[in-house]
Amino acid sequence: MRKTYLFFILNLFACGTFAQGNLQFNQVVIVSTTDLTVPAGKVWKVESYQQQQVGITGNGTIASCSDLTRSRPYYIDNNPFYCIEGIGYGGSNMVVTAGNPFPFWLKAGQTSRTTCGGDFLSVLEFNIIP
């Protein structure tokens, strides 16, 4: 019995020493074409990426923000990511590509932005409470 009690106390102490803290909602952040950085002591939960208007009919990179035939990327730490999942076209053919599922999390110091002014990332910002 004594060993069980000691084991329980040691495990309780060990689990408590690895805690990361609690999250407290702080604000909603809208990310557009200007690089925004996650502040120290905070984390971002990126909920969605909204494009003003787009149609998927072409391949390659976009020529300009008025090019509505291609999906536009959003950027995390200057790396482009495309919000593409299943694309269907004509008849029974279906092309399925690896998508970037939402939500995803960003830690302090990471940056994000969109390609065009009418596009935005919808973000929830949380304070990390020790």
pLDDT (tens digit per residue) in 58-100: 555 666 787 776 778 899 999 998 876 555 554 555 555 556 6
Distance, CA of 7 to CA of 89 (rounded, Å):
61
What's the pTM? 0.71
Strand stretches in 2-110, DSSP E: 22-31, 36-37, 42-50, 74-76, 79-81, 86-88, 94-96, 104-106
Rounded to an integer, the average pLDDT of 112-124 is 94
Domain coordinates in residue numbering, the chain: 21-129
Q: What is the pLDDT of residue 30?
A: 97
Is it the case that residue 27 has pLDDT exceeding 70? yes
Task: Give CA separation, 113 vs 11, 51, 118, 123, 130, in Å.
Answer: 43, 13, 12, 11, 29
Q: Strands 94-96 and 86-88: what pairing?
A: antiparallel
Q: Which residues pair with 36 in a beta bridge?
A: 112
* Side-chain-facing half-sphere of 126: CA atoms under 13 Å: 15
Q: What is the pLDDT of residue 109?
A: 98
